[in-house]
């Protein structure tokens, strides 16, 4: 029996989420700020919980049901009748017969758990959701998350500060200018290499020229396609092998050993990459679970004539509530810059969504692009779930909604010889509840408590540059700091009834008879520190 509707009375539950993402835009100084509360359309889902979904944590031995009779309400010199008016604590009146029907249904249910309206309990009947994760599984989940975190030490803090300082607005602006100069130096160096190869080509024998012509597809593959983990020595060995194996003889002429070494060195390559994924879940999908997934990739590949630079960061975060998955946040940032045979190409792809709704216009732009800072503020308020909860002998409709604010401050720098990103995010998310006005004047419900789903402050720094100072170098730096707390708090539905103050049965008051715990979790904070260890790696191109 459902005795509560869904409108009017607002009651707050709490459920907070903050996660990481990576976004940006391509015009220097462009910002996007939204102060109004966004209310994206979302089809509310429905869930019906049953009595078997809860367990009575303080149940006693069941007692025999003893029905309340009209005679229990007899007054001195006057017998009680079903048409008599009974005044409730809220000053409303009901017929005594109707009230007895309500009272007996409540008594019979309470008796099954060892409680009785006749005897005030020191504590109400407490019902707890069965779908909470076991402590053993909870410990494994926490360990999995903690294992990826590194505690900040003075040594790591010094390394991190050196990387972070490069991403200040002033330094990035200066870097943008110096990168343009660097682009010119690298282009000149690659042009010189090309001219050197052309001159060498003019000196080799006709047989060697024919051989090189046949090997051009091999060379293009080696120079244009990065091989994960391939080092300079490996690339030279591959070219030498190609030159001295199947194509060793043409018209009976063997290519000279000196030519093999020279050509191999002209087509050598340097490649290095780093990938860091994270995939975290805490809780139980049948009750409530928080998840944060992400991945960071950086790669640099260079030859004497070309380079391919790539930085990518993506995150997804959200949660499960009573088996329903809510993909709250999804973001993607990817920068690619490449040059081959004096032609440069580059691409910036940026997007960020809340429940599938763009928080700014997605970006997909080619070179030329430059230093950019974006500020986004996306307050939101949206209903998620309509949950029917069994409270003793009646059902209650509780609406769960989420509201909060997504703030992002991020920048990127893209040029022919540089790809760099720096997202810094804070997202707050609260789940609150609405419960309808009771169709029974004898019943009142309240909700207490809050539940933190995810609270995270995330800063990521990552770049790859083909730099030319005195000699060409591939330079990588990356670092991510994470402040995180997950899944903590308790959300209760409190059931109150208009009950007699025995022995004066005509004197009624609001009395708490049941406490239904929808969620109950210990707040947990892992080591707040480095998700990605501060690293700078330099690979000389020699």
77 pLDDT higher than 60: yes
Which pLDDT score, from 0 to 100, does residue 220 have? 55
pLDDT in tens, 279-295: 999 999 988 999 999 99
Mean pLDDT of 325-350: 88
Whole-prediction pTM value? Answer: 0.82
CA-to-CA dists, residue 77 to 80, 97, 406, angstroms: 10, 19, 69
Range with the largest mean pLDDT of 168-172, 333-337, 401-405, 520-524: 333-337
pLDDT in tens, 101-157: 999 999 999 999 999 998 876 778 999 988 767 788 888 998 999 888 888 888 888
Helices (H) and strands (E) in the chain, counts: 7, 23
Range with the largest mean pLDDT of 38-42, 176-180, 399-403: 38-42
Going by pLDDT thresholds of 50, 70 and 90, the confidence category of residue 526 is confident
CA dist., res. 444 & res. 219, Å (int): 79
Which pLDDT score, from 0 to 100, does residue 56 have? 93
Question: Where do the H-state alpha helices sit in 152-168?
Answer: 154-164
204 pLDDT higher than 70: no
Instruction: Kindly report each contact of residues 292-297 with a partner whose C-beta sits within 8 Å and lies 24 or more positions away, as own/partner.
Output: 292/19, 292/20, 292/316, 292/317, 292/454, 292/456, 293/317, 294/20, 296/460, 296/462, 296/478, 296/480, 296/532, 297/273
Residue 351: alpha-carbon gap to chain centroid: 14
Mean pLDDT of 257-269: 65
Tokens describing residue 347: 């691409």
Which pLDDT score, from 0 to 100, does residue 528 have? 76
1 pLDDT higher than 80: no
CA dist., res. 404 & res. 359, Å (int): 13
Going by pLDDT thresholds of 50, 70 and 90, the confidence category of residue 241 is low
Tell me which H or E stretch contains 388: strand 372-391
CB 47 within 8 A of CB 398: no
Residues near 68 by Cβ (< 8 Å), separated by ≥ 6?
100, 103, 104, 107
Going by pLDDT thresholds of 50, 70 and 90, the confidence category of residue 68 is very high
273 pLDDT higher than 80: yes
pLDDT in tens, 215-229: 556 555 555 444 444
CB 389 within 8 A of CB 396: yes
Tokens describing residue 122: 């020191």
């Amino acid at each position: 029996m459902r005795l509560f509707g869904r409108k009017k009375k607002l009651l707050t539950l709490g459920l907070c989420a903050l996660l990481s993402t990576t976004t940006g835009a391509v015009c220097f100084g462009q910002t996007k700020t939204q102060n109004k509360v966004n209310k994206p359309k979302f089809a509310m889902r429905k869930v019906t919980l049953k009595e078997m979904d809860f367990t009575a944590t303080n149940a006693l031995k069941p007692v025999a049901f003893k029905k309340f009779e009209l005679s229990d309400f007899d007054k001195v010199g006057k017998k009680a009748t079903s048409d008599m008016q009974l005044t409730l604590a809220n000053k409303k009146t009901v017929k005594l017969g109707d009230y007895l029907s309500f009272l007996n249904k409540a008594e019979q249910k309470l008796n099954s758990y060892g409680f009785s309206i006749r005897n005030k309990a020191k504590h109400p009947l407490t019902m707890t959701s069965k779908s909470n994760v076991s402590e053993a599984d909870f410990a494994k989940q926490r360990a999995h998350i903690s294992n990826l975190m590194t505690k900040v030490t003075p040594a790591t803090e010094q390394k991190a500060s050196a990387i972070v300082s490069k991403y200040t607005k002033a330094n990035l602006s200066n870097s943008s200018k110096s990168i343009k100069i660097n682009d010119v130096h690298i282009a000149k160096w690659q042009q010189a290499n090309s001219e050197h190869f052309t001159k060498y080509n003019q000196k080799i024998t006709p047989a060697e020229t024919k051989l090189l012509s046949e090997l051009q597809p091999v060379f293009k593959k080696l120079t244009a396609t990065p091989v994960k983990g391939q080092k300079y020595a490996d690339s030279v060995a591959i070219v030498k092998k190609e030159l001295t194996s199947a194509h060793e003889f043409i018209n009976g002429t063997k290519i000279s050993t000196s030519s093999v070494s020279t050509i191999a060195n002209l087509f050598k390559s340097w490649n290095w990459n780093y990938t860091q994924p994270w995939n975290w879940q805490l809780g139980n999908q049948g009750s409530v679970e928080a998840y944060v997934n992400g991945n960071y990739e950086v790669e640099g590949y260079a030859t004497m004539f070309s380079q391919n630079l790539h930085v990518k960061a993506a995150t997804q975060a959200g949660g499960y509530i009573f088996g329903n998955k809510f993909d709250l946040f999804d973001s993607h940032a990817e920068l690619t810059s490449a040059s081959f045979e004096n032609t440069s190409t580059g691409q910036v792809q940026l997007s960020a969504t809340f429940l599938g709704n763009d928080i700014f216009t997605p970006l997909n732009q080619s070179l030329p692009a430059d230093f950019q800072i974006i500020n986004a503020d996306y307050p939101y308020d949206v209903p998620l779930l309509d949950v029917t909860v069994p409270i003793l002998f009646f059902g209650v409709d509780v609406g769960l909604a989420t509201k909060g604010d997504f703030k992002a401050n991020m920048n990127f720098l893209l040029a022919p010889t540089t790809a760099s990103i720096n997202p810094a995010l804070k997202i707050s998310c609260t789940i609150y509840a609405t419960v309808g006005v009771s169709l029974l004047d004898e019943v009142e419900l309240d909700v207490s408590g809050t539940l933190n789903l995810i609270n995270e402050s995330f800063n990521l720094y990552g770049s790859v540059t083909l730099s030319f100072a005195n000699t060409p170098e591939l330079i990588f730096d990356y670092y991510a700091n994470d402040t995180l707390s997950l899944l903590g708090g308790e959300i209760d539905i409190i059931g109150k009834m208009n009950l007699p103050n025995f022995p004066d049965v005509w004197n009624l008051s609001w009395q708490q008879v049941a406490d239904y715990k929808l969620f109950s979790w210990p707040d947990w904070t892992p080591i707040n520190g480095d998700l990605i260890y501060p690293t700078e790696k330099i690979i000389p191109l020699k």
